[in-house]
Amino acid sequence: MPPESSESSFSAESYFETQLPPPSLQEDISEVRDFVRKQKDVGRKVVLVTSGGTTVPLELNVVRFLDNFSAGTRGATSAEYFLKAGYAVIFMHRQFSLQPFSRHYSHSTNPFLDFLEIDPPIHQRLSAEMLISSPPHITVTPSERVDLLRVLGTYKSVQKSGTMHTMTFVTVNDYLWLLRAVSQELSVLGRNAMYYLAAAVSDFFLPRQKMSEHKIQSGKGSLHIEMDQVPKILKPMVDEWTREGYIVSFKLETDPELIIPKACTALERYGHQVVIGNDLNHRKYEVVFVSRRSAFTKRPDDDDSGFQIHWLRINPSSASSNTRAVKEIEEDIVGELTDRHKIWIEAASVRL
Ligand code: PMT
């Protein structure tokens, strides 16, 4: 029998009344407010991209924690394509997970030191005297130059245009407080705001009132912990925090049969715009868009179920897991979403 969970004891409201905000919250909010105001002044659309996994600490003086699987590839890659499509991006990610642009030179898959060269070549340690008096040049391995220039050029232009704002979380508590605050700030953009919730959010947590202050001792044999369910934050997000935003959540499953039914249930329960379903093992080359059917989004191949199911697939052999991928599925995901977002914005003016 699979483990079962009991009913959540926390509503979103009671969660925020009882769990403490991260210490830097006010500073984070004021930076986001400035960023959003600048984008609003120039009429730019803004997308919040959440990325990476959240942790659940087991102790107040935290030594141990549970983690959620996610390298941050989906979020970091998508953020680059949103920037390319003309959006400003708030990139809210798990500390030390992959980030836009630098992801191409991740220390584990493509360490940058491996393609830097010393010119003229030197095969011994450089003395301090040599480093000061006649330091050699550093060059890039010729075969890497074009790729590096492309990434670096885009990175520098994004930095100059000020269209990306980065913020970090570690715990699920940080994530929830930040998500609420950023959504409330972004709501001033109305339909021009999109939310792309790709982070892997823990479903269970240990309220601070139940946590041990110090490191849990091992002397008493096995460890039994009862966790509470994390409140389902999509509901207040849609109903209260950002009523007009275009909200895209992700549904991760390991049993492919569950993806579409669970996505439909989420749409019915929370009332947001799109669920993108993905199977853990196929997520780099296959995703499914599930949305409610409406006059504005109807496609010729729609059935009568009330839901629109749209698969996006790329050739698995071109969807390499390393940075030299010929094709990244996020390019198509973002293309599909920016088209839908445009229709969503236009639909508002049609209804007026
Ligand atoms: O980073 P990568 O390694 O590239 O992996 C990408 C990914 C697989 C992590 C990503 O594509 C993905 O699927 N992210 C969502 C993972 C997740 O949290 O799935 P879930 O089925 O547990 O949650 C579904 C949705 O419920 C989430 O979008 C979230 O907004 C919502 N949720 C979750 C918890 C919670 N307390 N309240 C919620 O509303």
Task: Give average pLDDT by consecutive 10-residue segment, the chain, 352 residues.
Answer: 54 96 98 98 98 96 92 97 98 97 89 90 86 91 94 98 98 98 97 98 94 88 92 95 95 96 96 97 96 69 78 86 71 98 89 56
- The interface predicted TM-score (ipTM) is 0.91
CATH number, position 103:
3.40.50.10300
Whether the Cβ atoms of residue 55 and residue 171 lie closer than 8 Å to each other: yes
Is 220 part of any domain? Answer: no
pTM here is: 0.92
CA-to-CA separations, 145 to 44, 131, 148, 152, 239, in angstroms, rounded? 32, 25, 5, 10, 49
Domain-embedded: residue 346: yes
Residue 204's Cβ-count burial label (10 Å; 0-12, 13-18, 19+) is: middle
Q: How far, in Å, from the CA of 202 to the mean position of ligand 1?
A: 8
pLDDT in the model for residue 1: 42
Cα atoms in the 13 Å half-sphere on the side-chain side of 143: 3
Of all protein residues, the one whose alpha carbon is nearest to atom 17 of ligand 1 is 200
Q: Give 312 Cα–ligand 1 centroid separation in angstroms.
A: 18
Give residue 252 CA to ligand 1 midpoint distance, Å: 6
Are 32 and 168 spatial neighbours (Cβ–Cβ below 8 Å)?
no
The pair of structure tokens assigned to 131 is: 């480093």
Do residues 277 and 288 touch, judged by C-beta distance below 8 A? Answer: yes
Contacts of residue 349, defined as CB under 8 A and 6 or more positions apart, other chains included, come to none
In a domain, 24, yes or no: no
Bond into 120 cis (ω within 30): yes
pLDDT reported for residue 293: 85
CA distance 260 to 256: 8
Residues near ligand 1 (Cβ within 6 A): 70-74, 197-198, 200-201, 203, 230, 232-234, 249-252, 278, 283
Boundaries of domain holding 170: 29-122+130-214+225-351
43 found inside a domain: yes
2 belongs to a structural domain = no
Ligand 1 atom index nearest CA of 51: 1
Specify the number of domains making up the chain: 1
Q: What is the pLDDT of residue 2?
A: 44
Which of the listed residues 49, 172, 246, 249 should we mutate to test ligand 1's pocket, taking the one with most ligand atoms within 8 A of CB?
A: 249
> How remote is the CA of residue 76 from the centroid of ligand 1, in Å?
15
Residue type, 195: Y
Q: Which amino acid is at 6?
A: S
Measured from the Cβ of residue 13, the count of other Cβ atoms closer than 10 Å reads 11
Centre of ligand 1 to C-alpha 106, Å, is 23
Q: What is the predicted pLDDT for the residue at 295? A: 55
Query: Which amino acid residue places its CA nearest to atom 38 of ligand 1?
Result: 232
CB contact at 8 A, 270 and 262: no
